[in-house]
């Protein structure tokens, strides 16, 4: 009988060979031997449209659209391995989400990334944060949003749907600052808009590489 996430507890197969980081034991995505910057990116739900598989696959979509990847990762290994890189799953960290679920979603992000990396895929860690509880130590002893990610390497973030309104911009900017200070990344891939009001003060800290969101890309192609 096939196991699923419910009867297996936490899909232990994903982390059978993983190392873990911090008191929350977040699986580690290891630092790659060299940094590879993707020429372009493609959403997971659009990978069948890819003609040459040179893109990096991302999961900057609604969680339900890639939920099967979290519970049945092995089933997607063959298809994902055809691409040049995989950005680890963007499991949501909403600010009003219970903290235990935010930590669990960070775990799943890294667990899938760690598993795919162990199978030989080039994996770029996706970094997602919520409010200050995820990226400071004001309430928790660790900044769990950054656990399991190597320092001075390549990471990916998304602004898509995350910087509308002043409050969202505030939390995104503060989390970005904390991430840059904590991880000191060499390269940061950015999926979505990069407004000066958010990014200008940080452009000297790393090499940002910007990719337009899928909807904007489609609109430009149709013009």
The structural domains of the chain, with segments of one domain joined by +, span: 16-222
Mean pLDDT of 130-138: 95
Which string of DSSP letters, residue by residue, matches 76-136? GHHHHTTSSEEEPP-----TTS-HHHHHHHHHHHHHHHHHHHHTT--EE-B----SHHHHS
pLDDT one-digit tens code per residue, 96-107:
999 999 999 999
pTM: 0.92
Q: What is the pLDDT of residues 24-70, one digit of tens each?
A: 999 999 999 999 999 999 999 999 999 999 999 999 999 999 999 99
pLDDT of residue 106: 98
């Amino acid at each position: 009988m096939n196991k699923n996430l419910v009867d297996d507890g936490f899909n232990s197969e994903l982390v059978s060979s993983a190392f873990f980081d911090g008191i929350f034991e977040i699986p580690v995505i290891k630092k790659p031997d060299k940094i590879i910057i993707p020429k372009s990116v493609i959403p997971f739900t659009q990978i069948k449209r890819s003609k040459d598989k040179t893109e990096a696959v991302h999961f900057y979509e609604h969680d339900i659209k890639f939920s099967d990847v979290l519970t049945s990762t092995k089933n997607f290994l063959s298809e994902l391995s055809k691409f040049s890189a995989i950005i680890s799953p963007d499991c949501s960290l909403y600010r009003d989400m219970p903290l235990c679920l935010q930590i669990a979603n960070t775990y799943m992000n890294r667990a899938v990334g760690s598993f795919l990396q162990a199978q030989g895929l080039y994996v770029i860690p996706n970094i997602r944060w919520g409010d200050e509880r995820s990226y400071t130590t004001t309430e928790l002893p660790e900044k769990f949003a950054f656990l399991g990610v190597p320092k001075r390497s390549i990471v990916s973030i998304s602004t898509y749907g995350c910087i509308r309104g002043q409050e969202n911009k505030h939390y995104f900017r503060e989390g970005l600052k904390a991430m840059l200070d904590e991880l000191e990344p060499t390269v940061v891939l950015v999926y979505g808009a990069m407004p000066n009001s958010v990014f200008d003060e940080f452009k000297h800290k790393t090499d940002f590489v910007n990719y337009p969101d899928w909807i904007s890309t489609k609109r430009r192609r149709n013009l």
